[in-house]
Amino acid sequence: MTSSIKNVHIVGGGLAGSEAAWQLAEAGVPVVLHEMRPVRGTEAHLTENLAELVCSNSFRSDDAANNAVGVIHEEMRRAGSLIMRAADAHKLPAGGALAVDRHGFSAAVQETLLAHPLVTLERAEVAGLPPDDWDSVIVATGPLTSPALAEALAKLTGEESLAFFDAIAPIVHHDSIDLSIAWKQSRYDKGGPGGDGADYLNCPLDKPEYEAFVAGLLSGDKTEFKEWEHNTPYFNGCQPIEVIAASGPQTLRFGPMKPVGLRDPRTGTRPWAVVQLRQDNALGTLWNIVGFQTKLKHAEQVRLFRTIPGLQNAEFARLGGLHRNTFLNSPRLLDVTLRLKAMPRLRFAGQITGCEGYVESAAVGLMTGRFAAAERLGRALAAPPSTTAMGALLGHITGGADAATFQPMNINFGLFPPIEGAFKGKERKQAMAARALRDFDHWLGEQHAPLAA
């Protein structure tokens, strides 16, 4: 009887907290989900909704045969993930990626959780450490953990919180884009979930236009850091575009502005550089500028981005921004089931653990929810094998990484153990992906009572 099972408390209603709540509730364990918004806002969130996407609307590659991100997508689906269910239900055209309508996605997650009889939502900040009588807690406060809780954790662990800056890309109104210049095409005409191979809008730049744009990025007026923020490193996967440009004049042409696989229909040739926009909502009225996270001041963004051909009349629904993210030194502080060694009643999930990315955060939430459910129900639950995407990510967070140099990490095949056999290139990735899904299915089957719905 679930009435005799004590609540598990979850602090934070982002992707990780929402997924953890779902896994617990589906296992028959009652959950109290604590979300401080709208009582207390953050520097990046715009709404009070659970599972709000504050940066990109892309869950990245959905290719489960060749890409580690696609593998973790599929593992989550097989484990009954609410996040993946909502993403699949609200997908948008995005080439080989899984992009979602951010508002439909968030609404679906929230409605599903609130409809579950074992989930209770409380809108209030948990300031400092959770109360002592909460004997099982999942902290999923994300990279924007409230100062009171972050300070309490630092005192408890004796560790200085590590931090990095995460920048947000601008969003443009579709009807302000000049479609006589911009054209629709995915690189190499590649299709994907919800797409047809022409899923991006492309704005071409010739060499002088590109060079002028780079010069504008480097000289543009930028957000000033507070004194305590100056030495905070950026995460390599989410660097501001002007930071990338500062590393060399051609760097952007081999990064977010690379023109490979694209051909301007007006000239029949490949441009010198390209700015891509990806659909951001189901109506197709909003498009985000891919890879253009920035710390330029707002007026400077409007001025500079309107020098891009096709965006000369751009109207912005949201300009780029910058916020400070914090995360634990997890290899030193957490055990293999994501419990805090200094206080085992606390588990951690999501970006605060040092994973990076929407799906990685949700995947860690999924695992944390299952570990907490098994503990509540008196079951033994081993961690997923290191050969799986979830297991590889968990291993990196809880000991695979060097604690002295620990930095946030996306899922990638470099975290997986080597595979035997004479595989080369793409074949090696395909073999590792197949092994991961096979071993993940075996892990799910070993559980006494599967937690998937």
pLDDT, mean over the chain: 90
Residue 44 has pLDDT above 60, yes or no: no
Tell me the C-alpha distance between 408 and 396, whole Å. 10
**76-80, 232-236, 339-343: which range is least confident on average?**
232-236
At residue 38, the pLDDT reads 60
Tell me the C-alpha distance between 204 and 15, whole Å. 35
Which residue would you say has higher pLDDT here, 24 or 194? Answer: 24
- Per-residue pLDDT band at 1 (split at 50, 70, 90): very low
Residue 429 has pLDDT above 80, yes or no: yes
At residue 222, the pLDDT reads 85
Residue 133 exposed, middle or buried by CB count within 10 Å (0-12, 13-18, 19+): exposed
Tell me the C-alpha distance between 99 and 227, whole Å. 37
Residue 91 phi, psi (nearest 5): -75, 155
User: 327: part of which helix (H) or strand (E)?
Assistant: strand 321-327
pLDDT digits (tens, 9 = 90+) for 110-150: 999 999 999 999 999 888 899 999 999 999 998 778 788 88
Q: Residues 6 or more apart from 226 whose CB is under 8 A from it?
A: none
Side chain identity at residue 278, one-letter code: R
Side chain identity at residue 247, one-letter code: S
**Ramachandran class of 40: left when φ > 0, alpha when ψ lies in -120 to 50, beta otherwise:** beta
Q: Looking at the DSSP assignment, which residues form a beta bridge with residue 9?
A: 32, 137
**213-227, 242-256, 432-446: which range is least confident on average?**
213-227
Which residue would you say has higher pLDDT here, 48 or 255? Answer: 255
pTM of the model: 0.81
- Listing DSSP states for 216-272 in one string gives HHHHS-BPPPPGGGTTPPBPGGG--HHHHHHT-TTGGGGTTT--TT--BTTTTB--S
3-state helix, strand, coil split of the chain in percent (to 5) is 40, 20, 45
**For residue 254, how many C-alpha atoms fall within 13 Å in the half-sphere facing its CB?**
6
CA distances for 179 relative to 55, 174, 246, 269, 285, angstroms: 25, 9, 30, 18, 14
At residue 11, the pLDDT reads 96
Name the percent of the chain lying above pLDDT 90: 68
Out of 91-100, 159-168, 228-237, the most confident range is 91-100
Residue 412 has pLDDT above 70, yes or no: yes
Tell me the C-alpha distance between 404 and 415, whole Å. 18
Q: Please answer whether residues 393 and 360 qualify as being in contact, where contact means their C-beta atoms are separated by less than 8 angstroms.
A: yes
Q: Please answer whether residues 185 and 262 qualify as being in contact, where contact means their C-beta atoms are separated by less than 8 angstroms.
A: yes
**88-97, 156-165, 249-258, 339-348: which range is least confident on average?**
156-165
Residue 401 has pLDDT above 90, yes or no: no
Tell me the C-alpha distance between 20 and 40, whole Å. 22
The token duo for 164 is 């990095």
Tell me the C-alpha distance between 243 and 322, whole Å. 13
Q: In degrees, to the nearest 5, what angle opens at C-alpha 297 toward C-alphas 45 and 275? A: 85
Q: Taking residues 24-34, what's their average pLDDT?
A: 98
At residue 164, the pLDDT reads 66
Q: Taking residues 429-437, what's their average pLDDT?
A: 97
pLDDT digits (tens, 9 = 90+) for 289-318: 999 989 899 999 999 999 999 999 999 988
At residue 24, the pLDDT reads 98
Helices (H), 90-143: 102-115
Tell me the C-alpha distance between 169 and 187, whole Å. 20
Residue 450 has pLDDT above 80, yes or no: no
Chain-centroid distance, C-alpha 171? 18
Out of 38-42, 272-276, 448-452, the most confident range is 272-276
CA distances for 326 relative to 150, 241, 412, angstroms: 8, 21, 22
Tell me the C-alpha distance between 250 and 453, whole Å. 50
- Per-residue pLDDT band at 163 (split at 50, 70, 90): low
Tell me the C-alpha distance between 223 and 242, whole Å. 12
Residue 332 has pLDDT above 80, yes or no: yes
What is the C-alpha end-to-end distance of the chain, expressed in Å? Answer: 18
At residue 307, the pLDDT reads 97
Q: Most distant CA pair in the chain: distance in Å?
A: 71
At residue 451, the pLDDT reads 42
Side chain identity at residue 387, one-letter code: T
pLDDT digits (tens, 9 = 90+) for 354-375: 898 999 999 999 999 999 999 9
